[in-house]
């Protein structure tokens, strides 16, 4: 019988992923809610430094799982929480956040540039000014975000030893950049594959006409926590392909995950087929319960024009990042800076350009 552990709370109990085989040469890191790692660590560090006082207000901008993770941590530690979001937030998530005691402010108009994310940041800064002593985790720029993934890298290394490749979707830059930075202390040759989506600015596309159907990865602004020099290869995956892959991950492996997991799985499965003698690990960030009425609903997929019967087997290789519409494409990024690939400076989120 294995040794049973009683955790201090539910955050500590579920912060780390379950590690499962997806192929003989591919490991899945299946999180219940990956963002618990940065939420817990950032709040802990702020408390240790005095930046966050006992009972102090936490305020952040989010439309997804970081808000839920922050709400769980804030509730357990007795902090009031103010979240700035946009119409993309789904109603069940909003109800859950409010049930955890968070105040959820919805921005109803996108900014002239930077879309809803810029508009949300402007509201957030106003809330912080009006509440002296409040604390903002700033997941896009806070170095404690990538730092928080050290326990996950340690867990993977203990379970599997050295892996040859890490594959994961990119949004704030925390998970893939954080885990890979620790794994490369053990194996500097580790290959890192980032998964983005179309009309995201992270790796050289514009967000013109944005309103991405696939959420949870990509961005309209450039987070300072994205270290472009970490990435060997970058993929752009369309919404329909990610949704189909999410369903196949469920049907093939009984892994009930969200669409960012599906996008990453599509790329990881392709990588594993091309590299039968190497070992890969793919990050699967959250579970599928939020998506029962969308990604797991065929009628919704039909209505969105996002239902696929068969996945493409291979991506199209691009010779340079651009605003192409190939449903699945990749580019050999080669651990270069954004400016080194695109020939210009990226606009950093939360940092004046």
Please state which of the four CATH numbers 2.60.40.150, 3.20.20.450, 3.40.50.300, 3.40.50.1100 is assigned to the domain occupying 53-130. Answer: 3.40.50.1100
CATH annotation of 10-34+143-339:
3.40.50.1100
When pLDDT is cut at 50, 70 and 90, the band that residue 142 belongs to is: very high
pTM: 0.92
Residue 228 has pLDDT above 70, yes or no: yes
352 falls in which pLDDT band (50, 70, 90)? very low
DSSP code per residue over 26-76: EEEEE-SBTTHHHHHHHHHHHHHHTSS-TT--EEEE-SSHHHHHHHHHHHH
**Domain spans of the chain, in order of start:** 10-34+143-339, 53-130
| Average pLDDT of span 190-198 | 95
Give residue 290's Cα distance to chain centre: 15
Mean pLDDT, residues 61-75 taken together: 93
């Amino acid at each position: 019988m294995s040794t049973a552990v009683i955790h201090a709370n539910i955050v500590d109990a579920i912060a780390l992923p379950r590690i499962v085989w997806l192929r003989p040469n591919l490991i899945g890191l299946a999180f219940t809610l990956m963002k618990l790692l940065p939420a817990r660590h950032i709040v802990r560090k702020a408390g240790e430094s005095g930046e966050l006082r006992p009972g102090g207000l936490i305020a952040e901008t989010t439309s997804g799982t970081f808000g839920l993770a922050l709400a769980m941590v804030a509730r357990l530690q007795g902090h009031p929480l103010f979240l700035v979001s946009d119409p993309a937030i789904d109603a069940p998530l909003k109800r859950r956040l409010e049930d955890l005691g968070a105040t959820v402010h919805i921005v109803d108009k996108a900014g002239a540039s930077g879309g809803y994310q810029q508009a949300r940041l402007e509201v957030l800064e106003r809330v912080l000014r009006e509440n002296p002593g409040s604390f903002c985790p700033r997941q896009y720029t806070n170095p404690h975000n990538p730092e928080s993934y050290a326990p996950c890298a340690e867990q993977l290394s203990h379970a599997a030893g050295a892996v040859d490749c890490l594959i994961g979707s990119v949004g704030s830059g925390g998970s893939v950049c954080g885990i890979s930075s620790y794994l490369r202390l053990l194996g500097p040759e580790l290959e890192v594959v980032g998964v983005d989506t179309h009309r995201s600015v992270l790796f050289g596309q514009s967000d013109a006409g944005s309103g991405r159907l696939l959420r949870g990865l990509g961005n309209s602004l450039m987070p300072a926590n994205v270290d472009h020099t970490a990435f060997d290869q970058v993929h752009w995956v369309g919404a329909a392909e990610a949704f189909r892959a999410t369903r196949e991950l469920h049907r093939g492996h009984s892994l009930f995950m969200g669409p960012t997991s599906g996008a990453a799985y599509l790329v990881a499965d392709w990588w594993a087929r091309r590299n039968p003698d190497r070992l890969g690990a793919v990050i699967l960030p959250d579970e599928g319960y939020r998506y029962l009425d969308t990604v797991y609903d065929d009628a919704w997929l039909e209505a969105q024009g996002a239902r696929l019967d068969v996945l493409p087997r291979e991506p199209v290789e691009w010779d340079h990042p651009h605003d192409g519409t190939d449903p699945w494409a990749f580019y050999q990024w080669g651990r270069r800076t954004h400016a080194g690939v695109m020939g210009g400076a990226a606009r950093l989120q939360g940092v004046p350009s």
